[in-house]
């Protein structure tokens, strides 16, 4: 793994939260993207070298809707940039982690992504992401 690529925060109302985080960082989001397959609408902020992704559910059975129902708004996942996502998935499975999707899928922001189940990572949902070239 290379570095933290971004931190994902689950929100109920993307428009309102965009204003909150724009005030926090002193500049607006630079991108909004819907990932229809995941039932999620995302926005991205930059703060120095760091990136924050806000996620709002677009349908009631979206993973984000379920997360907010259970835990409320807040940090949803930490994403790590990887060079070779398939190799990393294989390595982590061999280490005993539960990978939620063995085949990487297309996520927001031009990335191939895979998630590790929080039960094998101390309660933290981990996203692996590889830039699509
Ligand atoms: Zn993410």
User: Looking at the predicted structure, is the pLDDT value of residue 37 above 90?
Assistant: no
- Ligand 1 centroid – CA 7 distance (Å): 6
- Ligand 1 centroid – CA 33 distance (Å): 12
- Ligand 1 centroid – CA 87 distance (Å): 19
Mean pLDDT within 6-32 = 98
Mean pLDDT within 72-86 = 97
- Ligand 1 centroid – CA 95 distance (Å): 23
Reduced to 3 states (helix: H, G, I; strand: E, B; else coil), residue 20 is helix
- Ligand 1 centroid – CA 56 distance (Å): 12
Reduced to 3 states (helix: H, G, I; strand: E, B; else coil), residue 39 is coil
Q: What is the DSSP letter of 119?
A: G
Cα angle value 79/129/31 (rounded, 5°) = 75
Prediction pTM value: 0.94
């Amino acid at each position: 793994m290379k570095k933290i690529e971004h931190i994902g925060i689950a929100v109920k109302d993307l428009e309102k939260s965009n204003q909150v985080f724009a005030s926090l960082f002193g500049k607006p989001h630079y991108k909004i993207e819907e990932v229809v397959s995941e039932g999620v609408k995302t926005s991205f902020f930059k703060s120095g070298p760091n990136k924050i992704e806000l996620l709002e559910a677009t349908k009631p059975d979206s993973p984000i809707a379920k997360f907010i129902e259970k835990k409320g708004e807040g940090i949803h996942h930490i994403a790590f940039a990887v060079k070779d996502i398939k190799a990393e998935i294989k390595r982590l499975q061999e280490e005993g982690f539960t990978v939620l999707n063995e085949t990487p899928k297309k996520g927001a922001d031009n990335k191939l992504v895979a998630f590790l189940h929080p039960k094998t990572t101390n309660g933290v949902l981990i996203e692996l992401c590889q830039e699509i070239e």
